[in-house]
């Protein structure tokens, strides 16, 4: 088939407008890449559409309607004229443009559910990467009572209007069922994945304790909790591997860490991340909100690492507190205390790491591909 995918992001900057191509690699970007590669391996032709911002110093009249890019064999169409988001976090103009293009495709995929509003074409799939309005600064939380009703009306549309909605964790289905009973019947849970052949344990060859934060640099991903922990227990080595929304923030973080010999901020492309996990003792995934079943969590587990995380979103699909991980509450607990507890207990780290490796096998990417194949074949 010919399949069109509408995404809200991939390229943050493109050479034609910003002087260079830039992508912030996180779970969403990895998922999109793996989905496209899987569809291509099945013989389908895939094209990704996404909005792109235009620098203020560029005359809009000189900007093309479409900018065609390619990333490792994946065709991506950037749309400079479709970056107008509403207060509710939807983009009707982008939706309309894509739906017109979808006439030329056999199936359409809305990479996030809110992109399906206000109209989803008949032969379509939407994807929910986790409940994304569960924090006090979201558009939903800040809206009036009437605004909350309108927000849910627009966003629930993306769960019920497409032919099927794929959710990356079971929490999505439970939340939607509680809000609007009946809609959950349209949701198929395909848990997130990890390549267990690539992400696997190796023998430790270093001294001391290395603590890894394999996350995008953002408040909701727990960057501040991680930074505070590094200050409380400087006797351990800390590594943050992830990008920020802009390069200035990344540079400031790197410059700040230069004065702290026990802390490093680095960036790693998708290929090579397994080495970072394999050279660590403890992984922390201190998410505060907007989380599905974290890919970085599964990757750490597959590499045999003990994990410190939270009970947010879909994380509970793979974690049992005290069995294969420690769960802390960012609002009431200190991440530093949990890190110190694991760092001082080698046996707990070993046992949790072994259990994590076994659990991760149930989320192997082969299973994920097989479940996606069932849905795609039904089209």
> 44 Cβ partners below 8 Å, 6+ apart?
1, 2, 3, 376
Q: Is residue 205 part of a domain?
A: no
Q: Is residue 198 part of a domain?
A: no
How many CB atoms within 10 Å of residue 20? Answer: 8
Q: Check whether residue 373 and residue 233 sit in a common domain.
A: no
Q: Check whether residue 75 and residue 123 sit in a common domain.
A: yes
Q: Check whether residue 330 and residue 292 sit in a common domain.
A: yes
Q: What is the pLDDT of residues 56-101, one digit of tens each?
A: 889 888 899 999 999 999 999 999 989 899 999 999 999 999 999 9
Three-point CA angle 160, 164, 170, nearest 5°: 85
Q: Check whether residue 371 and residue 352 sit in a common domain.
A: no
Alpha-carbon separation of residue 339 from 82, 196, 233, 264 (angstroms): 44, 25, 9, 17
DSSP label at residue 22: B
Q: Which domain holds residue 92?
A: 2-193+365-377
Taking the whole predicted model, whether its pTM rises above 0.85 is answered as yes
Q: Is residue 75 part of a domain?
A: yes
Q: Is residue 203 part of a domain?
A: no
Alpha-carbon separation of residue 226 from 211, 238, 264 (angstroms): 10, 9, 12
Q: Is residue 200 part of a domain?
A: no
Give the model's confidence band at 9: pLDDT under 50 very low, under 70 low, under 90 confident, else very high: confident
Q: Check whether residue 49 and residue 148 sit in a common domain.
A: yes
The residue whose two tokens read 């391996």 is 41
Q: Check whether residue 158 and residue 247 sit in a common domain.
A: no
Looking at the structure of the chain, the number of domains it has is 2
We report the CATH number of the domain holding residue 279 as 3.40.50.2000
Q: What is the pLDDT of residues 313-339, one digit of tens each?
A: 999 999 999 999 999 999 999 999 999
Q: Check whether residue 324 and residue 370 sit in a common domain.
A: no
Q: Is residue 202 part of a domain?
A: no
Q: Check whether residue 185 and residue 257 sit in a common domain.
A: no
Q: Check whether residue 24 and residue 171 sit in a common domain.
A: yes
Residue 245 has pLDDT above 60, yes or no: no
Residue 251 has pLDDT above 90, yes or no: no
Q: What is the pLDDT of residues 139-195, one digit of tens each?
A: 999 999 999 999 999 999 999 999 999 999 999 999 999 999 999 999 999 999 999
Q: Check whether residue 230 and residue 326 sit in a common domain.
A: yes
């Amino acid at each position: 088939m010919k399949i069109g995918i509408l995404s809200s992001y991939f390229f943050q900057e493109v050479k034609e407008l910003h002087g260079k191509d830039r992508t912030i690699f996180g779970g969403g970007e990895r998922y999109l890449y793996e989905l496209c590669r899987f569809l291509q391996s099945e013989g389908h032709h895939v094209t990704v559409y996404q909005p792109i911002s235009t620098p203020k110093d560029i005359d809009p009249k000189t900007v093309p309607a479409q900018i065609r890019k390619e990333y490792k064999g994946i065709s991506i169409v950037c749309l400079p004229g479709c970056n107008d988001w509403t207060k509710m976090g939807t983009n009707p103009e982008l939706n309309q443009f894509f739906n017109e293009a979808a006439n030329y495709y056999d199936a359409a995929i809305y990479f996030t559910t809110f992109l399906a509003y206000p109209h989803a074409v008949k032969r379509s799939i939407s994807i929910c990467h986790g409940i994304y309005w569960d924090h006090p600064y979201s558009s939903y939380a800040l809206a009036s009572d009437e605004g909350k009703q309108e927000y849910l009306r627009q966003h629930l549309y993306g769960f019920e209007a497409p032919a099927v909605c794929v959710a990356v964790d079971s929490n999505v289905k439970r939340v939607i069922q509680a809000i609007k009973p009946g809609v959950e019947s349209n949701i198929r849970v395909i848990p997130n994945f990890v390549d267990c052949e690539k992400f696997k344990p190796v023998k430790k060859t270093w001294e001391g304790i290395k603590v890894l934060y394999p996350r995008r640099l953002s408040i909701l991903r727990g960057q501040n909790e991680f930074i505070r922990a590094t200050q409380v227990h400087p006797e351990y080595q800390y590594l943050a591997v992830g990008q920020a929304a802009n390069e200035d923030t990344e540079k400031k973080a790197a410059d700040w860490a230069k004065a702290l010999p026990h802390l490093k901020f680095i960036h790693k492309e998708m290929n090579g991340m397994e080495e970072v996990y394999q050279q660590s003792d403890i992984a922390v995934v201190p998410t505060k909100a907007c989380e599905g079943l974290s890919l970085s969590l599964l990757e750490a587990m597959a590499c045999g690492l003990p994990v410190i995380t939270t009970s947010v979103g879909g994380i509970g699909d793979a974690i049992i507190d005290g069995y294969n991980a420690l769960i802390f509450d960012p609002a009431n607990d200190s991440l530093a205390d949990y890190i110190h507890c694991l760092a001082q207990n080698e046996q707990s780290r070993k046992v949790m790491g072994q259990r994590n490796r076994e659990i991760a096998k149930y989320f192997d990417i082969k299973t994920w591909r097989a479940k996606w194949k069932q849905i795609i074949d039904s089209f």
